[in-house]
Structure 1
């Protein structure tokens, strides 16, 4: 990885930091020299010694390296959370792609703590957040007082989402002023991916229903809105996942009686579309974009990490986008799970897509804060301030975490591309070596799934790796979902770490083959 060093002044600009250091002297009584020192301190985002230390500890994964927590607590969970709890693996501390559990053992965070930590634990670059906090930069703001860092972050997101070069101020201003369709130039700051997706769904609905009585009749008032989502292999809608709000849950076969009532009342309908089947989409789009119906929107991920890690094909999505754009149907690309895991930070750009909404989160703040965003075009900017806001969505230090992560990712774009390609190559060797067990390797880059021929084999594979304190999960509970083991290695993974991980997986597969008498 390339060496990245930045100070708060270098990242946020001198005029703003002059104001911050001046305020630190007046409000906090801080010595002006000390304040300036904090503002100018260059932080090495990922020192070479840090990387060497991570690689050197690989063979200690699974070892008890510290005493366990002597007297833990159970909390007050619901029944479902209590049943799923694994407090032994709960974090006491973390270092890079390691987590120290309450049992004192060293765990490998090979799922990046469910996408939250692309930079691993205690990423050194986030020390800039500590410096900002020491200088009195407040985290809490309000929607009407969005801070400088948040506003700067919004501009950077728009610049990167539109593929503009750094320093292209003229190009950025042109994009920000654009009213052309499918140009992402608005940002709503939220806290969770669920709320980001919900905001997009509401803006799609606003073309059919008024947000409140002050709004004029929408463009498609009187039409029945139909939402397209990914279909599972049993014909249902369980292959999609766009958050935990009630509306989004009805899109994936939850709250069936509630949805049936909405459908009977002709309020909206959900139409699942077959994965990577363009003829199926064409037929359903034609059926639901005429007469009393109107195609209200397509909502999709690119890598279905909640359905076997299946990857949607580029040519399929490009044709789907063409049809939707011609039919005046907005598209929400849900990158909550895929954002930041690829060269350029946005997977939709690698696919050559031009969505109307992009939901992002998890990866950008690096696990430091719950901070999601939805990017949208001017055409879709159809709600008032209270239609999609979250009171705490504008947090300044959360936006700073975004900028730090983005800075590292941009400087290391080639390295990120290379480690993704290297992992893919090495993962494919597992299929070649164990064809009787491994069906295929799904996903793309570090977001991957090892798909097995049998559910029992998937469960056994995950069980054996978890016994070695390697964090892998099984996805075997959805309708006709390919039985898959999910992995999401951090972006800071080295080739040494990838080789070690592949070796451990191969060892488990060899053991399974022996157990089966193969």
Structure 2
């Protein structure tokens, strides 16, 4: 397959460009005082522009494409055994564990070159060692500390909060009047609050806490909640059989209960009428109407509607526009907060948040993982001021305010915004080529799910999915078939990095085509 050349838009910025002249002056003065460094050298470093994705870097990565799947380095023979749990040990693949990574590649302990076709489980949407993150090294040299606390949130973290609110509202960079108006709004459909947390689980849990705070007091001196005399019902997206297991909103206890874990605990909560958990099947309007008809009356009240847009833990099932718009219409009618969990889809959308493509306005948006680019664990929840009801320690993580993690976010945002049109076109091309493959091999491939880079190839049976991914693993693609969830459709998932251009897409498609040809022999 002949590849068209990918030309990304150049982004070259300095710390001064990103963080502002006055802040940099303050940083230089502080460093000069504390360490005795020459302020002129520090100022020059702060003004040094970094090329976020140099053509030479991209060209080097493309030169390595023919070597994907080959042994390119001596294998690591004596690696550590570790001391993890039995479950983690049983599922560990040490041969694939990294000894090196650059761009969309990882060198495993077995010495082979792998294409990170799952972006290291969403951690690195811009690939390993993204050159734009060199600004973090500059910040360290200037003495900008990473560690701080909630009461001393730094300039970079506060600037990021503004950027998240700006981008969530679709405000153009530099439109300070529109940003200020958004920050001051008290409307339910305006996202103008940010909580800085460390993992997606904690960000999703913050949403759970805030919706339950409309039924239960967070602490003894809290005012009586609006729905104190109703039983809260948490609604999630279930699987095709009507079970809870399909969704994934983190690993805290209630979030795990939302996907069917802790069944005895769920039963006791229901018996005591503490709260209920109910699900609707993906894109099933009948289920949707039914859950509102049943629980928006008498003693019950839907506390919140939790959803993803592409369910990457359920075969990349994509929720349709018709289904999502009906959810939001019903939630608006019945005063039900909506929680859009974009831990797995943020950054991959050309508008940074996929909900903007649907034309909806969630009450909460959970983001993270991809934004800091694998440099730091850092999640955020962006939400409406009308839900700003928790006490200071209601949803707090000391490490959530890390300045350099916030800087990583800002770098990612700048490159992703500048290249949104290009990366979107590449993603659409990838999805189109996957659908062509599915049409050519209907006896093996059932259908394609997902959106652009976030894709799932559904198979007619589980054994075909296993054979397909085994073949691709052998030729150097990091890809897997979902087998760990009962009732999950047999599907192979990919999440290509945004920095993977047409050349990489064509290699992936060619490998998939070879796998399917091999399977029909």
Q: TM-score range by the shorter chain?
A: over 0.9
2:498 aligned partner: 491
Query: How many equivalent residue pairs?
Result: 514
Alignment of 1:44-443 (within 5 A): 44-443=51-450
Deviates more, 1:478-487 or 1:383-392: 478-487
Q: Look up the match of 1:512.
A: 519
After superposition, what is the alpha-carbon deviation per residue over 1:71-115, rounded to whole angstroms, capped at 9, x for unaligned?
311111110111111112111111100001122211110000001
Query: Residue in 1 aligned with 2:5?
Result: none
CA deviation vs aligned residue, 1:184-231 (integer Å, no higher than 9, x gap)? 000000000000000000000000000011011100002100011011
Question: What is the Cα-based RMSD across aligned positions, in Å?
Answer: 0.9
Aligned partner of residue 71 in structure 1, secondary structure: coil
Give me the whole-angstrom Cα distance separating, in 1, the residues matched to 2:486 and 2:78.
41
TM-score by length of 2: 0.98
Is the 2:458–2:491 contact (alpha carbons within 8 Å) kept by the matching residues of 1?
yes
Task: Measure, in 1, the Cα distance between the counterparts of 2:66 and 2:409.
Answer: 32
Gaps of 5+ in 1: none
Q: TM-score, normalised by structure 1?
A: 0.98
Q: CA deviation at 1:479?
A: 3.4
**CA drift at 1:70:** 4.0
**Alpha-carbon distance, 1:69 to partner:** 2.2
Q: Distance in 1 between matches of 2:428 and 2:470?
A: 27
- Tell me if structure 2 keeps the 8 A contact 1:342–1:420: no
Query: Equivalent residue of 2:209, what SS?
Result: helix
CA distance in 1, matches of 2:288, 2:265: 26
1:233–1:479 Cα contact (<8 Å) kept: no
1:36 CA drift (Å): 1.2
Question: Partners of 1:504 and 1:458 in 2: how far apart?
Answer: 15
